[in-house]
C-alpha cells in the first residue's frame, strides 16, 4: 500500500520542501519528518529513530518502515540488508513491531488451542471463509501434539462478504472454540451477536501490515512462510530454529 502511494509521487508536481543547514538531533528528526510528510502528507508517523546505517533514519508508519536520509533528501522504501550478517534489517524491525503488537493483544481477545506444556506458541490470523485457514485448522490436533500452541486472531477479510458476521457469531457462541472448529468444518455459525473484539483485532492486523489469511507469526514476530506453516512437522523445525536464533542474540 505504501509502495503504491510512493510510486505515484513521481508524477505529482515538485514540492517546495525547504532544506535547512545541519543542526541538532531534534532538527534532524524534524527534517526527516518534514521530508516524509512532503511525500505522504496523510500518513501518520508512529516513530522516527536513527538507523544502523550511518546518515539514515527509520520512519515507522502503519506497521511499515521506510528510511530517510538525515538531510531529508532521500527516502528509501524496500528491504535493507546487512550483508555480512546476512539478514534483513527491515524484516528484523518489522518483526519487532509485530511482536510488540502481539504482546499488546490480551489473551481474552484470541482463541487459544494449546497442548499441556507447549514448547512453542504461534499466532495465526484467520478468516472463517478462507480455504487454507480451514485446511490449517483441520490439522490443529497435529500442531498441538507437536507441542505448538496456536492463538487464533479473527481477521475476516473484506473480500469475503459476511465473514465478519460469521466471526462474530463464533465469538458469541457459548463454546467459542467448538463453534470455531464447527465453522471451519463448513457448519454455518448462525447469527449470534454480542460485544466482541472482531473489529479491534481486524484493525490491529491491518495496522501491522497483515493483508491475507492465514498468516502465522512466531513469538518473536517473525512471519512464518506459508508452506512451512501448513506442515506441522516442518513448522516444529522452523520454530526450533527461530528459538535458537533468539537465544543466541
Nearer to other proteins, 79 or 187 (CB): 79
Residue 4 binds other proteins (CB under 8 A): no
CB of 75 to other proteins, least distance (A): 5
- A 10 A CB-CB count for 213 gives 25
**Burial category of 68 from C-beta neighbours within 10 Å (exposed 0-12, middle 13-18, buried 19 and up):** buried
Q: How far is the CB of 80 from other proteins (least distance, A)?
A: 5
Taking Cα atoms as reference points, which of 87, 35, 105, 93 lies closest to residue 60?
93
String marking each residue 59-98 x if it binds other proteins according to CB under 8 A: ---------xx--xxxxxxxxxxxxx----x---------
* Residues 8-37, mask of contacts with other proteins (x by CB under 8 A): -xxxxxxx-x-x---------------x--
Shortest approach of other proteins to residue 158 CB, angstroms? 25
The one among 45, 48, 53, 92 contacting other proteins by CB under 8 A: 53
DSSP 218: E
Q: Which residues 6+ apart lie within 8 Å of 31 measured at CB?
A: 19, 20, 70, 71, 72
Q: Which set of grid coordinates corresponds to residue 235?
A: 513448522
Q: How many residues are present in the chain?
A: 249
76 or 242: CB nearest other proteins? 76
Residues 169-228 that bind other proteins (CB under 8 A): none
Q: Residue 243 and residue 235: Cα distance in Å, rounded?
A: 12
The H-or-E segment that residue 178 falls in is: helix 176-184
Residue 182 beta carbon to other proteins: minimum distance, rounded to whole angstroms: 43
For residues 29 and 57, the answer to whether their CB atoms sit within 8 Å is: yes
Using CB under 8 A, list all residues that contact other proteins.
Answer: 3, 6-7, 9-15, 17, 19, 35, 38-39, 53-55, 68-69, 72-84, 89
Amino acid at each position: 500500500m505504501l509502495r503504491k502511494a510512493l510510486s505515484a509521487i513521481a508524477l505529482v508536481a515538485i514540492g517546495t520542501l525547504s532544506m535547512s543547514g545541519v543542526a541538532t538531533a531534534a532538527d534532524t528528526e524534524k527534517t526527516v519528518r518534514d521530508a516524509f510528510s512532503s511525500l505522504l502528507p496523510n500518513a501518520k508517523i508512529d516513530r522516527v529513530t536513527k538507523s544502523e546505517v550511518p546518515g539514515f533514519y527509520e520512519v515507522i508508519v502503519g506497521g511499515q518502515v521506510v528510511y530517510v536520509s538525515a538531510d531529508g533528501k532521500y527516502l528509501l522504501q524496500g528491504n535493507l540488508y546487512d550483508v555480512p550478517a546476512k539478514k534483513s534489517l527491515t524484516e528484523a524491525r518489522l518483526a519487532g513491531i509485530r511482536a510488540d503488537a502481539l504482546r499488546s493483544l490480551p489473551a481474552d481477545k484470541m482463541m487459544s488451542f494449546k497442548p499441556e506444556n507447549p514448547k512453542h506458541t504461534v499466532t495465526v490470523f484467520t478468516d472463517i471463509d478462507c480455504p487454507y485457514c480451514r485446511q490449517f485448522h483441520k490439522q490443529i490436533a497435529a500442531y498441538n501434539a507437536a507441542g505448538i500452541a496456536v492463538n487464533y486472531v479473527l481477521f475476516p477479510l473484506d473480500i469475503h462478504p459476511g465473514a465478519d458476521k460469521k466471526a462474530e457469531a463464533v465469538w458469541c457462541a457459548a463454546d467459542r472454540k467448538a463453534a470455531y472448529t464447527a465453522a471451519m468444518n463448513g457448519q454455518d455459525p448462525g447469527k449470534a451477536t454480542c460485544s466482541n473484539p472482531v473489529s479491534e483485532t481486524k484493525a490491529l492486523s491491518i495496522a501491522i501490515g497483515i493483508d491475507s489469511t492465514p498468516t502465522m507469526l512466531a513469538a518473536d514476530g517473525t512471519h512464518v512462510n506459508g508452506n512451512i506453516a501448513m506442515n506441522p512437522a516442518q513448522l516444529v523445525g522452523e520454530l526450533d530454529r527461530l528459538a535458537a536464533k533468539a537465544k543466541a542474540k
